[in-house]
Amino acid sequence: LTEGPLKGRHVLVTSGPTHEPIDPVRYIANRSSGAQGTAIAAALRDLGARVTFVTGPASVPPPGGVTVVRVETAQEMAGVVKATLPVDAAVFAAAVADWRVANAAGQKMKKDGTGTLPMLEFAENPDILAGVAQMGAGRPRLVVGFAAETETVEAHATAKRARKGCDWIVANDVSPGTGIMGGSENAVVLITADGAEVWPRMAKPEVARRLAARIAAALA
C-alpha cells in the first residue's frame, strides 16, 4: 500500500461542505457531497502518499487508509489545516462557507409570538487556500485549489489562481443543469502556470486518478 510514486510524501486534502451554526440546532451549509475530494484522497493514497483528509460533514464516507479529521465549521477546518502543516502538497477541494453567522445564538432561537423575525449577521471566514498558498516558509511545494463556477469558467478560474496564489486550479462548472455538484461525474479545466487544459467529462474517481498522477509528476 505504501509503494508508489508518492511514497514518503505527505499530502493534505480538504473536502466536503462546512456547516456554519445559526444556533445549536440550525446551520447554513451548501450542496457539496465531498465525492470529488474523497476520490482525490483515495487516488493519492493509491499512489503511496500519506494522506491527511480534513473533511466537513460530507454525504459520502471518507476513504480508508488515510488519516481522517472531521470538522464542522470553516474556522475549525482552518485550524486543523494549520496544525497539519508542513506537507509536500495540499489539495483544497472543500466547499468552504465564505461567511459564518456572526450573531449565532447560544440557545435555540424561538418564535416569540409577535412575528418578530430574526436577523442574521455575517462575518467573513478565513480563506484557507489563500492563506496556505501565500505563506512564506513552510509553504507546500504544490498548492491546488478548486473553483466551482457557473459561468465563464476558464476566465474566472485563471483570475482565481492569480488571486489565491496557488499553483493549480481545478475548475468546474456547477450550473444546475450540469448535475455535477452532488453528481457522479465531473468536467474540469486544469489551470496551471502554462495555461488551461480542458479535460473531457468523466467519473469523479477518474478525475481524481488523473489529478493524483499529475501531482506525483509535479513532486517527482
Residues 98-117, one symbol each (x = binds ligand C5P by CB under 6 A, - = not), give x-------------------
In contact, 45 and 3? CB cutoff 8 Å: no
By CB under 6 A, is residue 33 in contact with ligand C5P? Answer: no
In contact, 90 and 27? CB cutoff 8 Å: no
Of 27, 53, 92, 168, the residue at the interface with ligand C5P (CB under 6 A) is 92
In contact, 219 and 9? CB cutoff 8 Å: yes
By CB under 6 A, is residue 188 in contact with ligand C5P? Answer: no
By CB under 6 A, is residue 88 in contact with ligand C5P? Answer: no
Residues 154-183, one symbol each (x = binds ligand C5P by CB under 6 A, - = not), give ------x-----------------------
Annotated binding residue at 128?
A: yes
Euclidean distance between CA atoms 143 and 53, whole angstroms: 15
Q: Which residues of 133-172 are buried (b: 16+ CB within 10 A; e: fewer)?
A: beeeeebbebbbbbbbbeeebbebbbebbeebbbbbbbbb
Of 101, 146, 181, 216, the residue at the interface with ligand C5P (CB under 6 A) is 146
Annotated binding residue at 85?
A: no
Cβ count near 201 (within 10 Å): 13
Of 22, 35, 40, 96, the residue at the interface with ligand C5P (CB under 6 A) is 96
Number of H helices, E strands in the chain: 5, 14
What minimum distance in Å lies between the beta carbon of 146 and ligand C5P?
4
* For ligand C5P, the closer CB: 6 or 90: 90
Residue 86 preceded by cis peptide, ω within 30 = yes
Binding-site ranges for ligand C5P (CB under 6 A): 14, 74, 92, 94, 96, 98, 125-129, 145-147, 160
Binding region for CTP? 98, 108, 126-129, 146, 160, 164
